[in-house]
Structure 1
């Protein structure tokens, strides 16, 4: 497989500077498909702390919805982690495997944001393979969740639920669970509930959400499970999406009204809440309220409104046989939904 000059250049920069490296705005753009080849790029083995810092920077880019920058960051991260896993010192290889799994997982999440579902599935599978090499149940569970998300988006709802249920059963909290264990378990149940809702399995979705809420109620503070924060508030946000998927916008909006947005820690999570609420308002026939929610999302994470799924909401309302809400057309132009 031929080496990519752009990735090699980025790798050299990362090795020579403290992360995050200065972003080269005029450099050749790294594409999502380049992430498939990043592991084959020649890169120096790095110290575990350097890899950890690189992963933290990539997560910050994701949480602030800086997706263009994130693609380049992930290319360097994957190359460095793969090289360290292969050529690093014995004590560094295990840490590199954990970072590599997380990097591929984050890359899969990015592809979901970009609506490249096929690539998301491939990268999620790579995350799972890397996670299994760690021998640790946490990375395996997080990667399994990424695979299940890709399966759900491809229409394999039942298989996604089965994978998540089996993975959750393997890490089911006991009588004295850690917050991290509860967060991992609960986030998998939330994802399974959404898959169930998309399959029209309301009773199952509600049961899974109830179990997730119980897990959230046992943690002492919000916890990051993989790339996603988990807390009682985040379970409520999932309820918005679940009930909208079930066609019950009234219940979805009831849950939306209870969310304390101050407890949504990142711009990405806040925008996700706003967009889910907008989708519920649209389904409820209140395009004016949906537009307000989309404006709120734009104020914190404008890149979220440039996603194809957000464009679908905007264009449906824009061309609906109803009065166009104030500010919707200008929003559509700003985020590229229309020209």
Structure 2
């Protein structure tokens, strides 16, 4: 029996030793009880990041699960968890996958608790988009940046509720137009699906595959490099989460090579592709490539120091963003000590959106947790909540909070924080 076949048993034994239910473990890491069951039965392949989050919740040393091979030969089909031959097939599935994002809804919370991250409920089923007719292009064009504004403000319930209607209208408009109007509709559709993929990824929902794949199909139909680069980035994130780290790096570096580093907007997109590629390389244990890509992204930002703000859709191409990625890369490589000085010199307040600031504080919390500094971990998690009440209810911050709660010493206010943010039931 090979090591990968034992991984599910290891997780099951640790959970049973703590007398935890599958639903309780799933809640801490952002998976359903049925997903935890599949993991324990070795029916669902998970990447290193997920293995480490489960180890945190189950109070296991990370080295006990980090040595298992990544699921390099399989991805999980979003509808039935069946093996799919390779990521190239997944990138062509926009014409065969059924359904798309369902309307999200903000989860109900009791009085006095933080606003919940909207439950997209997309692990087990895909739903059809609402039926609608074409819309005026100017109406769609104004609705898309409005949805982006609520996303970057980390008010996720607003775009998750509005996106299905926006996607349906954009698809109907694309299908009813031709020429330049069709190109414009495809551009709007691509960016709406980029946002849908980002929202699904925040919940670790397999629906991110669907949304990212459709985003790239629409973006390529525009023939424009910026939406194509943005869509490639979110698709690569879903590939990395499925364990296809090297494939994600190849996709990202290929797309980055198509972009002109000297042009303001394409240069900014190119930087974000290199940053995501660096993180993907780190997830695949390729330290040399990860650090080289970070350095190249940093040089790209240096050349753009005096340029105007890039105005990208969901991520930034700034020196601060590069430093945040450095922290994340070192966390993923298992060298968080190399990120401490970066974190101490970092001014997260320079980041332009609440969503990015909250994500930066989450990476900082991961760093301190890996170094065993519980007080600093808790302080960083509090900053996540201050920046974005919904972001702190994501799977990763909840897992960090649960890990603190099960630690050897009591931190004042931690139990209340864990209940308020949904890491543990009231």
Q: Check whether TM > 0.5.
A: yes
Distance in 1 separating the partners of 2:121 and 2:406: 32
| Aligned residue number for residue 164 of structure 2 | 75
1:174-185 aligned at under 5 Å gives the runs 177-185=262-270
Check the 8 A contact 1:101/1:139 in 2, yes or no.
Answer: yes
- Cα RMSD, aligned residues only: 2.3
Q: Equivalent residue for 2:302? A: 217
| Alignment partner, residue 112 of structure 1 | 201
1:70 offset after TM fit, Å? 1.5
Deviations 1:133-172 (A, max 9, x none): 1111221121111110000011111111111111111114
Cα distance between partner residues in 1 of 2:99 and 2:232? 30
Kept after mapping to 2: 8 A contact 1:184/1:226: no
1:36-88 alpha-carbon deviations (Å, 9 max, x no partner): 522xx332322222112111111112111112222121111101111111114
The residue number in structure 1 matching 2:133 is 44
Aligned to 1:93: 182
* TM-score using structure 2 length: 0.69
> Does the alignment pair 1:159 with 2:247?
yes
Which structure has the higher relative contact order (CA within 8 Å, separation 6+)?
2
Q: How many Å separate the matches in 2 of 1:224 and 1:151?
A: 25
1:90 and 1:169 mapped to 2: Cα distance? 28
Aligned counterpart in structure 1 of residue 367 of structure 2, from 258, 280, 286 = 280
Q: Hey, what's the Cα distance between the residues in 2 that align with 1:137 and 1:90?
A: 18
Equivalence map 1:307-318=2 (5 Å): 307-318=394-405
Is contact 2:120-2:203 (8 Å) kept?
no
The structure 2 residue matched to 1:66, chosen from 146, 155, 163, is: 155
TM-fit CA distance, 1:335: 0.7
Indicate whether 1:207 and 2:292 are aligned. Answer: yes
1:223 touches 1:229 (CA, 8 Å); kept in 2?
yes
What's the offset of the Cα at 1:260? 1.9
- In structure 1, the gaps of 5 or more residues are 8-28
Q: After the TM superposition, list the runs of 4 or more consecutive aligned residues in structure 1 that deviate by more than 4 angstroms.
A: 29-36
CA distance in 2 between counterparts of 1:229 and 1:147 reads 17
Q: 1:253 to 1:166 in 2, by over 3 A?
A: same
1:1-339 equivalent positions in 2, closer than 5 A: 32=122, 37-38=128-129, 41-88=130-177, 90-116=179-205, 118-173=206-261, 177-219=262-304, 220-320=307-407, 322-339=408-425
Deviation at 1:247, TM superposition (A): 1.4
What TM-score, normalized to structure 1? Answer: 0.86
Counterpart of 1:16 in structure 2 is none
**Structure 2 gap segments, 5+ residues each:** 1-97, 104-118
Moved more, 197-206 or 83-92: 83-92
Partners of 1:281 and 1:30 in 2: how far apart?
30
Q: Alpha-carbon deviation of 1:106?
A: 0.7
On the 8 A contact 1:268/1:304 being kept in 2, the answer is yes
Q: Is the 8 A contact 1:64 1:268 kept in 2?
A: yes
Structure-2 separation of matches of 1:226 and 1:92: 21
How many Å separate the matches in 2 of 1:185 and 1:201?
20
Higher helix share: 1
